[in-house]
Chains A and B, each alone.
Chain A
Amino acid sequence: MSGSSGSQRFAATLAVLACALAFPFLASGYHLYQGAQVLILAIALLGLNLLTGFNGQISLGHGAFFAIGGYGAAILTAKFGAPYWLAIPIASLVCFGAGFLFGFPALRFGGLYLALATFALAVATPQILAYKGFDAYTGGSQGVTLVKPHAPFGLPLNADQWLYLVCLFCAAFLYWAVRNLASGRIGRALIAIRDQPIAAEAMGVDAALYKTTCFGVSALYAGVAGGLSAVAVGFVSPESFELPLSFAFLVGIVVGGLASLGGVIFGALFIEFVPNLADQLTVNFGESAKALPGAIYGVLLILVMFLMPTGAAGAARAAAGAVARRLRSRRGAKIQDGGSAASAAAKYGGKGEAT
């Protein structure tokens, strides 16, 4: 990447951040809630993309870690009286532990076994959450209800605005963290393990440690997202964490772009608003509109892998490259840098790109 595109990217990040900061003072009520949901989903997608996009480990069960984060935060606040700003970090540390341990058995084998094991986790989780033995804490199939937090220090913000800003702060901080992680030595090691596992080990990369830690960090992100979601919705129950949630996360990172950190925001918008759209259509077209999100997700998964394996982020990169090329050729300059290299990288899977 050339210097100019670096500063462009910085400007773009600032612009997105400014819009996101202005949003709570322009929108209200339900739209603000949806905005918070998009940010929460983006956090979960960041974690999953680190694992699947960068490290090549397939998880079909991130809904389970989202559930652990959500239930952890809910139980700590509702049953133990912990404040939410303490409950969410504790719950996500639990998720880190769970993810680290779960990444262990699948270490020595191909990605397929991890996909199988995480699929099993995703299917089994709702039943475990509803288990009668844990009723005292999890409330069985009834779930747990939380109280919505209010803005502290007498800030002139209502609960929705405050919650949105908390989510925005978490999302921005976690984005910054994962971006630093992915663009340095650790990111290179993760990508090397994905693309050339044997060569990576020969170069002295401790693949086992990196893979399990990556799984743990990824689960931690899902846990933060789950905790925030529990606080934002004010309620957790087993049926919010079923298999479709895990599949939606996968759809989010594929649509947004594998191994693209900026793409998660596209992915999050997508998986937040497509089901919403289907709900609205249900009013007009009845029950059969319930099938719409699944159909769109399924068709898009296959089409994206067919046509644009780098997802929305890759498409945006390619478009930006094409525009830059056209501008340059209009000025009569020779094409030799930036644009064409970026679009070439986008075309061939965008390996090593951290957008």
Chain B
Amino acid sequence: MNEFLHQLASGLALGGVYAIMALALVMIYQATQLVNFAQGEMAMFSTYFAWKLMDMGWPYWRAFAATVLISFAGGVVIERLVVRPFAKAPVLASVIVFIGLALIFNALAGWLYGYSVTSFDTPFSGRPWFGNVYMSAHESGAVAVSLCVLALVYAFFRFTPLGLAMRAAAQNPVSSRLVGIRVGWMLAIGWGLAAAIGAIAGMMAAPIVYLDPNMMAGILLYSFAGAVLGGIDSPFGAALGGFAVGVLENLVGAYAVGAEVKLSVALAIIVGVLVWRPSGLFGRRLVARV
């Protein structure tokens, strides 16, 4: 029982990371009906940036804030320079461009920082929180940070004029433009937010999975699984799906198939959901108008 609770708890820690990554994916999906395959590598690159800042002697939270801001700016720039020209291109062209971006970030990280596996500091060290024996301090901290991000994103979209404008631009671009919303910029801000959220996910994951240029491939896959499970057009569903996948991955890895083939859990979830309930648990059914 103890072992079971332990697995459950550490599943929640990575689940939080998957949840906010899935949220970032859904944000871009809602606005463009595209899945950003470069999300993971962008997050990995941001994490390396934070590591570099800390290596230069910056304190954790200052490096954290700087990384989030820089990632936001980077996301906006990428949208403007690379993604924008393909706005009207077929899905295939966009997917190819995303793969290109992923390869570039991966190569850039390898070139700048090397391919060796590095450890990454955590701000949550010391004794476990609230006498919680099932989670390390970092795991509790990662869950707390993930929940904070989810709450902040919810508040941003629900209570701020900018959030409202972004939702409008995603839902009905033509009418939004008519009432004076700059739809193109809303999209760029969406990319910036997704990149910033991804950076937080990377910094929360790195102390657990360690830092190397390929660290995000698995995490991105689980986030895909979370987003598909919860419904790729539902932010709430995707976040919940992320937590669920984190727990499921850990439990199935520990008790059913063994930790060394855990990635096939994500494969099974994605294929299974596509076969039985393609809209996910909380997504809208897709109805195409002919």
* B103 and A295 form a contact (CB under 8 A): yes
Within 8 A of B (CB), among A106-144: 106, 108-113, 115-117, 119-121, 123-124, 127-128, 130-132
Taking the closest CB of chain A, its distance from the CB of B278, in whole angstroms, is 6
CA–CA, A309 to B96, complex, Å? 11
Judge if A146 is at the interface, Cβ distance under 8 Å. Answer: no
CA–CA, A104 to B290, complex, Å? 23
Taking the closest CB of chain A, its distance from the CB of B102, in whole angstroms, is 7
CA–CA, A109 to B217, complex, Å? 24
- Which residues does chain B contribute within 8 Å of A306, judged by CB atoms? 85
Within 8 A of A (CB), among B236-288: 258, 260-264, 266-267, 270-271, 274-275, 278, 286
* B266 and A58 form a contact (CB under 8 A): no
Known: A198-B290, A290-B110, A291-B111. A119 touches B101 (CB 8 A): no
Known: A109-B274, A291-B108, A305-B86. A120 touches B103 (CB 8 A): no
- Count how many chain B residues have C-beta atoms less than 8 Å from C-beta atoms of the other chain: 50
**What residues of chain A have their CB less than 8 Å away from a CB belonging to chain B?**
52, 56, 58, 60, 102, 104-106, 108-113, 115-117, 119-121, 123-124, 127-128, 130-132, 198, 243, 247, 250, 254, 258, 287-288, 290-295, 297-302, 305-306, 309
**What residues of chain B have their CB less than 8 Å away from a CB belonging to chain A?**
33-35, 37, 82, 85-86, 89-93, 95-97, 99-108, 110-111, 114-115, 217-218, 221, 224-225, 228, 258, 260-264, 266-267, 270-271, 274-275, 278, 286, 290
Q: Can you list 27 residue pairs at the A/B interface with Cβ under 8 Å?
A: A52-B92, A56-B90, A60-B99, A104-B275, A110-B33, A112-B33, A113-B274, A115-B35, A115-B37, A116-B270, A120-B221, A120-B267, A123-B218, A124-B221, A127-B261, A128-B264, A131-B258, A198-B290, A243-B217, A247-B99, A287-B115, A288-B114, A290-B115, A294-B110, A300-B100, A302-B100, A305-B86
Told that A119-B37, A124-B266, A298-B105 touch, could you supply 8 new A-B pairs with CB distance under 8 A?
Answer: A58-B92, A117-B267, A198-B290, A243-B217, A254-B96, A288-B114, A290-B115, A294-B106
